[in-house]
């Protein structure tokens, strides 16, 4: 099911090397999605707000990594929902509120969300947030724009090309041709819909190594879910078979 969209899958390619940290992507996202402002405190870092929030679907993650040859090195990584192909949030969602768009992005239907917060605990990247109405919010790759042939708001506004949107396979090919050794998310979780082009180790940028869906969730999905149907069906079939082959209990005289 998850692989249906692989062929025409779209992605956002993030190239942190090209990011100047202007945060226009954050503003554009708020503007398009009509998200309210947040009061935050200066905590001594360029990063603001401090984390993704119900009114912050994307964020420039800031890291300072000084070294001998480069005493002032600032890294900016644009963070948002990774739009996993094998999405833990979608797997665990009991109400079907989370769904895949034709582009392969993970979007959601607010009306169907029952506020159970299982998705929050199943996400390998700590992305979903709940709003004041107790409904899921997160980046949906601007599916309301991309469906109309437009680019996501963050990509549209990015002045340096640090964010690109397009055919996933093409974006990855282009980044490799441009000399980016590591494409983060090319293979993780069957391929992410937010991919990152790095020349250094992704770890340096604070990217999670070997992101994975919780094991209990995989076990539940692969074994427990089918077993519930097989178990019920098997027992009903066995009861019918027993009734026909052996038959119901008969009263016997010697039992008296």
Partner 1 sequence: MVRKSSIDEILNHWILAGSCILLSITGFAFLFHLEPVSAAFGGPNTMKDVHNWGGVVFGLSLLYSLRHYIADALEYDADDLQWFKVAGGYLSHKVTVPPMGKYNPGQKLYYLAIVVFGVAIALSGLGMWLMKDNATVMLLSHLVHSVSFIVFVIAVPVHIYLGTVANPGTFKLMISGTLPLDEAKRRYPKWMKAAGKM
User: Which spans of this chain sit near partner 1 (rule: CB under 8 A)?
Assistant: 92, 94-97, 111-112, 114-118, 120-122, 214, 216-217, 219-220, 224-225, 227-228, 231-232, 234-236, 239, 242-243, 246-252, 254-256
> What is the three-state SS of the chain?
CCCCCCCCCEEEEECHHHCCCCCHHHHHHHHHHCCCCCCCCCCCCCCCCCCCECCECCEEEEEECCCCCCCCCEEEEEECCCCCCCCHHHHHCCCCCEEECCCCCEEECHHHCCCCCHHHHHCCCCCCEECCCCCEECCCCCHHHHCCCCCCHHHHHCCCCCEEEEEHHHHHHHHHHCCCCEEECCCHHHCCCEEEEECCCHHHHCCCCCCCCCHHHHHHHHHHHHHHHHHHHHHHHHHHHHHHHCCCCCCCHHHC
Minimum CB distance to partner 1, residue 112 (Å):
5
Closest to partner 1 by CB, 69 or 251: 251
Minimum CB distance to partner 1, residue 142 (Å):
25
Closest to partner 1 by CB, 27 or 237: 237
Closest to partner 1 by CB, 120 or 169: 120
Minimum CB distance to partner 1, residue 219 (Å):
7
As beta bridge partners, residue 99 has 107
Tokens 């009306």 correspond to what residue?
111
**What are the residues whose beta carbons fall under 8 Å from the beta carbon of 32, sequence distance 6 or more?**
142, 145, 153
Minimum CB distance to partner 1, residue 221 (Å):
10
Minimum CB distance to partner 1, residue 94 (Å):
4
Please tell me the number of Cα atoms within 13 Å of 144 on its side-chain side.
Answer: 8
Minimum CB distance to partner 1, residue 243 (Å):
6
Closest to partner 1 by CB, 69 or 255: 255
Minimum CB distance to partner 1, residue 180 (Å):
33
Are 60 and 25 a contacting pair, CB within 8 Å?
A: yes
Closest to partner 1 by CB, 117 or 187: 117
Closest to partner 1 by CB, 116 or 169: 116
Closest to partner 1 by CB, 35 or 217: 217
């Amino acid at each position: 099911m998850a692989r249906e969209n692989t062929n025409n899958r779209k992605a956002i390619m993030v190239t942190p090397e090209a990011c100047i940290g202007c945060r226009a992507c954050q503003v554009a996202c708020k503007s398009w999605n009509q998200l309210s402002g947040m009061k935050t405190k200066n905590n001594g870092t360029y990063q603001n707000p401090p984390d993704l929030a119900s009114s912050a679907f994307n964020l420039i993650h800031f890291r300072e990594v000084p070294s001998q040859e480069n005493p002032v090195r600032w890294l900016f990584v644009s963070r948002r929902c990774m739009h996993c192909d094998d999405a833990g949030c979608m797997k665990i969602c009991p109400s079907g509120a989370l769904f895949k768009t034709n582009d392969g992005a993970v979007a959601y239907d607010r009306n169907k969300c029952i506020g159970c917060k299982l998705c929050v605990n199943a996400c390998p990247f700590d992305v979903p947030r709940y709003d004041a109405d107790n409904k899921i919010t997160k980046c949906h790759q601007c599916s309301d724009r991309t469906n109309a042939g437009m680019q996501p708001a963050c990509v549209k506004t990015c002045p340096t090309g640090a964010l690109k949107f397009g055919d996933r396979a093409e974006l990855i090919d282009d980044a490799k041709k441009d000399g980016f050794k590591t494409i983060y998310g090319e293979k993780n979780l069957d391929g992410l819909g937010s991919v990152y082009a790095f020349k250094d180790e992704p770890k340096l940028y604070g990217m999670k190594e070997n992101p994975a869906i919780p094991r209990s969730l995989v076990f539940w999905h692969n074994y427990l879910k089918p077993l519930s149907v097989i178990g019920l069906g098997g027992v009903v079939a066995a009861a019918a078979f027993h009734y026909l082959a052996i038959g119901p209990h008969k009263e016997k005289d010697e039992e008296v």
